[in-house]
Amino acid sequence: MFDEVKRLEEVREELKKDPLNFTLLLEQGFLCMVDSEDIYGALESLEKALGIYPNDTDALFWLAMTYYYCFSRYEKALVVLEKAISIDSKRADCFQLLAKTIIALGYDSKAVLFNLKKPIELEPTWFWSRTILIRDCLEHEILDLANEQLHILKSRYKEDGPVEVKTLMDDYYEECFTGRNMHFKEEEIARLEDNIKDAKNKELK
């Protein structure tokens, strides 16, 4: 549907004419992030964008994504996410990534659980936020909460989406973060059901 290589070339050409265009710098940063061959270009573009608007939470979010997924620099991602949340405490996506970041850093499970619950409080229909919470509950054998959240997921996942997207950035976000445009939701729910059944059977033995 989208050709990221072609679009990245277009954005680079447009930036030659308008090098301080915030929107283009943000898009270039994202495109470089998904292009594993130019992850340093992602940092450069996003930091330049933040030089223009230091408190833009979209730019902070994608910078944290770059630190997390491209460099595994979880401490850096944590600092960026905490700044974004201090600016806008309703950014469910930032809380979702924050939860994954503190899991990677080995934080206390109570802190992880708090940050996993926050996104679904803010965006109750997001598929991935609730799925991540269920998987963490399974890992820590909190089966009652996992089962409760699975029932909510099954009852609500059709309420929100799919949505129309116009850019690769939006497509990525709706597929990988909100889950609104995620394919195979039923298959993922079935896997979670099997995982919970297996965990309960193991508990009974």
Co-location of 9 and 106 in the same domain: no
Co-location of 40 and 126 in the same domain: no
DSSP string over 103-148: HHTT--HHHHHHHHHHHHHH-TT-HHHHHHHHHHHHHTT-HHHHHH
DSSP string over 23-82: HHHHHHHHHHHHSGGGHHHHHHHHHHHHHH-TT-HHHHHHHHHIIIIIH--HHHHHHHHH
CATH number at residue 9: 1.25.40.10
Instruction: Write down which residue in 54, 84, 114 finishes a domain.
Output: 84
Structural domain harbouring 152 = 90-205
Quick one: DSSP state of residue 168? Answer: H
| Nearest in space to 146 (alpha carbons), one of 158, 132, 157, 159 | 132
Co-location of 153 and 186 in the same domain: yes
Question: Is the CB of residue 203 less than 8 Å from the CB of residue 142?
Answer: no
* pLDDT (tens place) for every residue of the chain, 205 residues total: 678 889 999 999 999 999 999 999 999 999 999 877 789 999 999 999 999 999 999 999 999 999 999 999 999 999 999 999 999 999 999 999 999 999 999 988 888 888 899 999 999 999 999 999 999 999 989 999 999 999 999 998 888 878 999 999 999 999 988 999 998 999 999 999 999 999 998 877 6
Co-location of 18 and 62 in the same domain: yes
Q: In sequence order, which residues have a C-beta less than 8 Å from that of residue 203 and are 6 or more positions away?
A: 141, 143
Co-location of 96 and 196 in the same domain: yes
Q: pTM of this prediction?
A: 0.92
Co-location of 204 and 107 in the same domain: yes
